[in-house]
Amino acid sequence: MRPRLGVAVVTAAVLVGCSGGGTDSAAPKMPNGAAAPQAVAAATGSNVVVNPGFETGTLTPWTSCGTTTDVSVTTAQAHSGSYSALIGTTAKPEVNGTAGVCQTVTVPAAATLTFWVYEGTTDSIEYVDQEADILSTSGTQLTQLYAEANTTNGWVEKSFSLSSYAGQTVQLYFGVKGNGYSKDYVYEYLDDVSLTGSGATTAPTATPTATPTATPTAAPTATPTATPTAKPSTTPTATPTAAPTATPSATPSSTPYACNNQQFITDQSEFAAGTITADQLVDICGSVTQVLPEKDTSSGHHGYFYVAMPNGYDIEIVSNLDAMAEAPTDDPPSTWPWVAVGDYVYVQGRYYYDSSSSQGIDWTEDDTGSWPYVGWVAVCTSSGANCSKYW
């Protein structure tokens, strides 16, 4: 049992950049080249995107910038001309991770980004999306322009103002994400990408100078002077001393369930470094940050939720709901979800790591097949008390 769920979200999620993980929907890699900024010196109103309709028959200077390479230039669909970019797959299975194309551009003044997409999927937004983002040159997501799971049955035009990025060098990202489900697919054709503006260089200089000078000078001077002087003498003295001391010491000691988050963090680092490759038995505990809808996959009926780790990573927990319902004792409620955001949980299961964007803990029940360990999930209140063990 190893259903995949792309990081989204979560959590956004999520690690955005060259490594291919992130809290937001996409996890693009760094593009290999940055030829597009050369076009900014063109005449007023000209398109700064190079090869905007992929009519060269190749991606260049676009780059494949997802965690998978499911990107191609195709004649299967075209809004104009003969070619478009196909991102994702039109046939099952869907992509397992993110697939995308990027181009580095310098945004002109009064800029408008316009493009055409032809989208299709058999999955839902909980597990896949088609999206467009603005990234920094290092691959960090600055803005998500849209994210949807749509079947358009034809070409649709989308348009966004990028005036707030005037004068900045950024990456345009268009992509899809999926969890590799064998019975679904997700794709996005892209064509006729246009980024035009006034071409002036005075506008970007004027706007940033006016806004930061006015806002930061007024707000920070007033707020920090008043708030820190008044509150630290009353609230922080009482609260931090009481809360951190009470909660961490009470939670692990009040239950008999094992928890070794440091071992998980060590395993995660060793997986990433390639030091270990075999699945690991882990015992973790932490607060629930997200609960997803149940889903049928090729390996069964599953419930998904995420738990915060001390290193800031939210790890996905996968439970086989059918197997847990058949437990002779300690079976969970018949209706999912039986865990909620804010609950404190203890989990024993198999930690698998396929990539930075495809990792999780499953076999959290007694029906573990060839896996030699019995797993479980103990769901507690936010303070770690009144736990119910399900397996």
Average pLDDT for residues 107-135, to the nearest whole number?
Answer: 96
Q: What is the pLDDT of residues 342-369, one digit of tens each?
A: 999 999 999 999 988 889 999 998 877 7
Whether 151 shows a pLDDT value over 80: the answer reads yes
pLDDT over 70 for what percent of the chain?
Answer: 74
Q: What is the pLDDT of residue 255?
A: 54
Lookup result for tokens 């900014």 = 40
pLDDT at 388 over 70: yes
Helix (H, G, I), strand (E, B) or coil at 236: helix
Q: What is the pLDDT of residue 98?
A: 95
Please give the pLDDT value at position 56: 97
Residue 374 confidence class, pLDDT cut points 50, 70, 90: confident
Chain mean pLDDT for the chain = 79
pLDDT of residue 222 exceeding 50, the answer is no
Structure confidence by residue, pLDDT tens digits, 201-217: 333 333 333 333 444 44
CA distances from 99 to 203, 234, 261, 389 (A): 35, 51, 32, 39
Contact call for residues 173 and 132 (beta carbons, < 8 A): yes
Range with the poorest average pLDDT among 116-120, 153-157, 234-238: 234-238
Sign of CA pseudo-dihedral 46, 50, 54, 57: positive
> Among 108-112, 115-119, 169-173, 199-203, whose mean pLDDT is lowest?
199-203
Specify the residue for token string 């008044």.
230
- pLDDT on residue 110: 95
**At 151, phi and psi to the nearest 5?**
-120, 105
Are 109 and 201 in contact, with CB atoms under 8 Å apart? Answer: yes
Is residue 269 helix, strand or coil? helix
Cis ω for the linkage preceding 61 (within 30 of 0) = yes
Task: Count CB atoms within 10 A of the CB of residue 314.
Answer: 24
β-strands 376-380, 169-179 pairing:
unpaired
**In this predicted structure, what is the pLDDT of residue 80?**
97
> Token pair of 232, please?
């630290």
Structure confidence by residue, pLDDT tens digits, 290-308: 999 888 887 788 999 999 9
Report whether pLDDT(30) > 70.
Answer: no
* Composition of the chain by helix, strand, coil, percent to 5: 20, 35, 45
Side chain identity at residue 140, one-letter code:
T
Alpha-helix residue ranges (DSSP H) falling in 164-282: 202-230, 235-253, 261-273
Task: Tell me the CA distances in angstroms from 121 to 126, 168, 189, one per residue in order.
Answer: 12, 34, 12
Dump pLDDT digits (tens) for 51-87.
Answer: 999 999 999 999 999 999 999 999 999 999 999 999 9
Q: How confident is the model at residue 44 (pLDDT cuts 50, 70, 90)?
A: low
CA distances from 324 to 77, 230, 287, 303, 319 (A): 46, 52, 21, 11, 8
The reported pTM is 0.46
For the residues 220-230, what does the mean pLDDT come to? 42
